[in-house]
């Protein structure tokens, strides 16, 4: 049955016939086109180089991290647009999911020890009611947070967090309020019983 393959007359010169026949079918040993091979080898080289550059040796910033940095830069640029932060901008930021998650992260790590994670107050005052010691507008909070009230135990966060993070954290606080809400200015905060030294007069 199987006899040595014969080269039919119409065979292209560079394609040799394989020496087998299955069910009467013969195969040519077709060489892969050079462009195809180059694409394949090129892809392999690229993959190894890419892996080394971004992942194994981290010479370049991986795209996901680059995107993150760019988004943060955009948010910062938006906050710093015309170099000025205003009540209006902070209210707007208080609806931005990304700003809020950044603000929450800062609040939970930096502020929650004194204000409680739900902001209802501990050593520091409640930030979700409408009573404020230093004013309840976004810019009032921004000022209090930036400059602090050292004498009363509220550290100045300006040098620690910077403008952007403070704006985010204010936006996060303001997400619990709304513009035009009644603001009652009070003299001080009474911490829950047993938390801190005697409550200041109110
Ligand atoms: C060490 C405890 C402590 C930490 C940490 C702290 N605070 Fe305070 N915070 C206070 C105290 C105490 C006051 C009240 C100051 C006063 O009585 O004048 C206050 C006041 C404030 C006020 C003004 C509230 C008002 O009624 O006017 C805001 C807003 C505020 N803090 C936000 C923050 C934010 C945001 C952070 C984190 C970046 C933070 N605080 C971290 C203790 C703290």
Domain boundaries, the chain: 63-185
Task: Please give the model's pTM, rounded to 2 decimal places.
Answer: 0.65
Query: Kindly report the CA angle at 138 between 137 and 140, in degrees rounded to 5?
Result: 65
User: Does ligand 1 have an atom closer than 6 angstroms to the CB of 104?
Assistant: no
Residue of 115, 116, 128 with the most ligand 1 atoms within 8 Å of its CB, for mutation? 115
Helices within 51-149 (DSSP H only): 63-80, 87-93, 97-106, 112-115, 138-147
For 96, the token pair is 């931005």
User: Does ligand 1 have an atom closer than 6 angstroms to the CB of 113?
Assistant: yes
Q: What is the pLDDT of residue 81?
A: 62
Low-confidence ranges of the chain (pLDDT < 50): 197-202
Q: Hey, what CATH class is 63-185 in?
A: mainly alpha
Helix (H) or strand (E) holding 169: helix 158-174
Paired residues of 25 in beta bridges: 22
User: Does ligand 1 have an atom closer than 6 angstroms to the CB of 132?
Assistant: yes
For 119, the token pair is 């902001």
Q: What is the pLDDT of residue 190?
A: 77
Ligand 1, residue 113: give the atom nearest the CA: 5
User: Does ligand 1 have an atom closer than 6 angstroms to the CB of 196?
Assistant: no
Work out the burial of residue 87: count CB atoms within 10 Å of its CB; fewer than 13 is exposed, 13-18 middle, 19 or more buried: middle
Ligand 1, residue 111: give the atom nearest the CA: 37
């Amino acid at each position: 049955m199987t006899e040595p393959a014969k080269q039919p007359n119409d065979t292209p010169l560079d394609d040799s016939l394989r020496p087998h026949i299955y069910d009467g079918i013969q195969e040519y040993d077709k060489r892969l086109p050079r462009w195809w091979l180059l694409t394949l080898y090129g892809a392999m080289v690229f993959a190894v180089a890419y892996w080394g550059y971004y992942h194994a040796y981290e010479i370049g910033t991986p795209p996901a991290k680059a995107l993150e940095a760019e988004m943060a830069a955009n948010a910062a640029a938006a906050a710093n647009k015309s170099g000025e932060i205003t009540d209006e901008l902070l209210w707007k930021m208080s609806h931005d999911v990304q700003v809020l998650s950044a603000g929450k992260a800062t609040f939970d790590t930096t502020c929650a020890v004194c204000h409680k994670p739900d902001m209802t107050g501990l050593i520091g005052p409640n930030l979700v009611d409408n009573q404020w010691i230093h004013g309840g507008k976004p810019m009032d909070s921004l000022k209090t947070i930036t400059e602090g009230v050292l004498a009363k135990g509220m550290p100045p966060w300006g040098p620690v967090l910077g403008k952007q993070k403070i704006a985010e954290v204010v936006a996060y606080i303001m997400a619990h309020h709304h513009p035009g809400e009644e603001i009652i200015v009070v003299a001080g905060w009474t911490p829950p019983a047993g938390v801190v030294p005697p409550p200041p007069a109110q």
